[in-house]
Structure 1
Amino acid sequence: MDLSSVILLGVLLVFLLGIIVNYIFKMVEMAYVMRYKKPMYNHVYLYLKRLNKNQRLILERQFTFYNKLPNKSKRHFEHRVFRFIEDKEFIGRSGVEINDEIKVLISATAVMLTFGFRDFYIGLISKIVVYPTKFYSKTNDAYHKGEFNPKLEALVVSWEDFKEGYKSADDNLNLGIHELTHAIHINSIKERDVSSTIFSDTFKELSELLVNDEALRARLMSSGYFRKYAFTNQFEFLAVVIENFIETPNTFQLEFPEIYVKVKQMLNFNIVGY
């Protein structure tokens, strides 16, 4: 056997070994996920990217969630914000000029919601369109504060209303969280990565819980904790529920511990305060 044949055989064996190892890992992780309802790992990076000084200051001064993280998690969070910004096309409309504040705060909201995910990019979003205020939407011929359009792979927000969502940390009204939850929800239905699978499967479990537990369902609808818009459909329900989960986790856990546990599992949120 000549040298070129030996090299070719070696490459083929390495390739086959890689396939076998990958298959074994997937089987092991599948068993792990079925038992523990979470990925085996989330944050493994060869090299951590850094935001520029101005972008980091925006995180530190305007994004409370980031400041609650331990230093190691802050580095992971910053890396993910950098990558999310890099991955998306930001488009300003009606005079909006895309700046670091817009990029960082929208991206940080997405990274916050997917911080327990391995794949945090929300692949169904390719562009983020920002209007100064409410905008006219052809989807239903009405003015919107925000929307997610999966066909166009576009998240669209009013910057005024996005910023309004962060003025109060506990009113359970946050446009960015709401619209990005829609994107994550739909993305989880289409994708089959481990985090999307956990998210969608756990939401099915939550839906079944509410269907089968009439007393819980009645208490949920009469409590006033979740605003009425939550009961429009399953997508609005989940978006409102996650707004409440992020902004008032302690109240949520006290009022509806069964639902809280499911949401925490969906997001794989092992973070202090949740």
Structure 2
Amino acid sequence: MPEEEINYVFVMLCLGALVIALVVIILIKSVSLVEHLYSYFYKKPLYTHFYFRVKKLSPQHQEFLKQNFLFYTRLSTKQQRFFQHRLVTFVAHKSFEGRDDFEITEEVKLYIGATAVMLTFGMRNFLLNRLQKIIIYPDVYFSTINKVKHKGEFNPHLKALVFSWKDFLEGFDNDKDNVNLAIHEFMHVIQINTHNHKNISAVIFSDANKELENLLKQDHLRHKLINSRYFREYAFTNRVEFLAVLVESFIESPQVFEQNFPEFYKKIKEMLNYHFAGY
């Protein structure tokens, strides 16, 4: 083949590749624009779950979820498969470390991972990339961050979440008091994880959070919150703690929450994209 023809073919291949790349970029941008418009009106992503191969838990671990997570039992069969897939994936992506001779068992990983999956089940991005390590003590521990004893905390600089296992379990033993250490601390992780992120779930979360804060500025709603004593006083420490406490109540007593504070309930539901049974 003459050199001129080779050059021509090469140029045409390059142009073809460039056109294909541009078409792909335009399609991606168009889908992103459509989804943002969709989320603006409907307050949720176009889709949440899409997996090439769904991973499954063992029958024994599936039974563990049924016995310990009411949330899981409320899901449809299809949603339960997605929950299992996310749980297997989440646990595989995190490091679990025991302190003071605490033993990391499969049950420990399932309990912790299922809590994270429950809270992010309505979000497309669920791996919480700003969390890498989960450290568990058998009981309250001495925090090197603020030099006091703690039940749990999230260190965003070390990407580490720390729990007292005793207090972790107590949060699930009583699911009617609106106090759950695991839910509370994972909400701090989610807040950090969605900060300044551009994925659609993070955008929806952040927008709803801003609207939630605007509701809190309304005197009559703020006074109603405080006087009701439905939320414990710790909720009014700051806005970060306020959201974490609200989500504890949202998960444990959604019907009471909706009945008494429908405005706040609606925003939490939007933030978590909870559009399924029980919520």
* TM-score class normalised by the smaller sequence: over 0.9
Residue among 56, 65, 78 paired with 1:59? 65
- Seq. identity, %: 47
**Displacement, 1:197?**
1.1
User: Which of these two proteins has the greater Rg computed from alpha carbons?
Assistant: 2
Does 262-271 or 57-66 show the bigger shift?
57-66
After superposition, the C-alpha distances for 1:148-196 in whole angstroms (9 at most, x for unaligned) are 1111111111111111111112110111000000110121113221111
Alpha-carbon distance in structure 1 between the residues aligned to 2:22 and 2:103: 50
After superposition, the C-alpha distances for 1:225-246 in whole angstroms (9 at most, x for unaligned) are 0000101111111110000000
After superposition, the C-alpha distances for 1:4-45 in whole angstroms (9 at most, x for unaligned) are 555544433322221111111111111111121211110111
Superposition RMSD on alpha carbons, in Å? 1.4
Aligned to 2:253: 248
Aligned to 2:203: 197
Aligned with 1:166: secondary structure? helix
Residue 115 (structure 2) pairs with residue 115 (structure 1): no
Aligned to 1:139: 145
Alpha-carbon distance in structure 1 between the residues aligned to 2:91 and 2:140: 23
TM-score (norm: length of structure 2): 0.94
Residue among 93, 100, 110 paired with 1:104? 110
Alpha-carbon distance in structure 2 between the residues aligned to 1:17 and 1:8: 14
Alpha-carbon distance in structure 2 between the residues aligned to 1:244 and 1:207: 17
TM-score (norm: length of structure 1): 0.95
Runs of 4+ in structure 1 off by over 6 angstroms are: none
**Displacement, 1:52?**
3.0
Aligned to 1:22: 28
Question: Are the structure 2 counterparts of residues 190 and 150 from structure 1 closer, same or farther at C-alpha, using a change threshold of 3 Å?
Answer: farther
**Displacement, 1:93?**
1.1
Residue among 227, 236, 242 paired with 1:237? 242
Does 114-123 or 188-197 show the bigger shift?
188-197
**Displacement, 1:91?**
1.1
Alpha-carbon distance in structure 2 between the residues aligned to 1:183 and 1:191: 13
Alpha-carbon distance in structure 2 between the residues aligned to 1:15 and 1:124: 31
Alpha-carbon distance in structure 2 between the residues aligned to 1:128 and 1:216: 37
Aligned with 1:90: secondary structure? strand
Which residue identity is paired with 2:268? Answer: V
Q: Is the 8 A contact 1:125 1:150 kept in 2?
A: yes
After superposition, the C-alpha distances for 1:99-152 in whole angstroms (9 at most, x for unaligned) are 111111111101111111010111110111111111111111111110011111
Aligned to 2:82: 76
Aligned to 1:158: 164
Alpha-carbon distance in structure 1 between the residues aligned to 2:107 and 2:216: 39
After superposition, the C-alpha distances for 1:195-245 in whole angstroms (9 at most, x for unaligned) are 11111111111111111x211110100101000010111111111000000
Structure 1: 5+ residue stretches without partners = none
Q: Is the 8 A contact 1:54 1:100 kept in 2?
A: no
